[in-house]
Amino acid sequence: MIIGLTGGIGTGKSTAAGILRDCGLQIIDADEVYHGLLLPGSPIMEEIRRIFGAEYFEPDGRLNRRLLGAKVFADLHKLQLLESITHPALKQEITALLSQARRTRRETVLDHPLLFEMKMESLVDEVWVVTCPRSLQVLRICQRNGLRPEEAEARINAQLPMEMKEARADVVINNTGTIDDLRILLEKTWKERRV
């Protein structure tokens, strides 16, 4: 089985993926795949530099993701422009990884914050959405990323609304408690779904 695990920023999706890894599932982390594509000198990085400018790069050629993030999350057109550069390569790489998982029959989780936005839900057997109230999302984002509340709100607004994700999910995981609460819920859900 391949599970597409998604949710909004700050809902605890990555924590949930870690718990599922502890349950023995292989994890394909879309963010890690994405960062692997952003190597200094890669064609994608050169295209980002050409379109957005050298000011978004460190002297060693690495992308200043925080600076570029502040720019694109404040301007929907710029975000769409960045995604038009990065998403095709990301989708191709993830598709190849999922094909390999299917060939090896390995129980796998695709941890992907933009599963629906990139129209990749058809590549998985089930979609699990990790959710929590928006106020808790904002609090978690500010604490984890050191952002101001309005910056956190902009990042939440750049994603599909949680209600839409929940409506399209096979499983909704409400993450409003402790990590131990989340672990118990996920272990129980995985045990029920795999039989």
**34-50 per-position pLDDT tens digit:** 999 999 989 999 999 99
How many structural domains is the chain composed of? 1
According to DSSP, residue 161 is labeled P
CA atoms within 13 A on the CB side of 106: 17
Stated pTM of the model: 0.89
In the prediction, which pLDDT does 159 show?
Answer: 86
Q: Which domain does 139 fall in, by range?
A: 2-194
In the prediction, which pLDDT does 195 show?
Answer: 63
**100-139 per-position pLDDT tens digit:** 999 999 999 999 999 999 999 999 999 999 999 999 999 9
CA angle 139, 136, 173 (to 5 degrees): 140
- Provide the CATH number for the domain around residue 132: 3.40.50.300
Euclidean distance between CA atoms 43 and 59, whole angstroms: 18
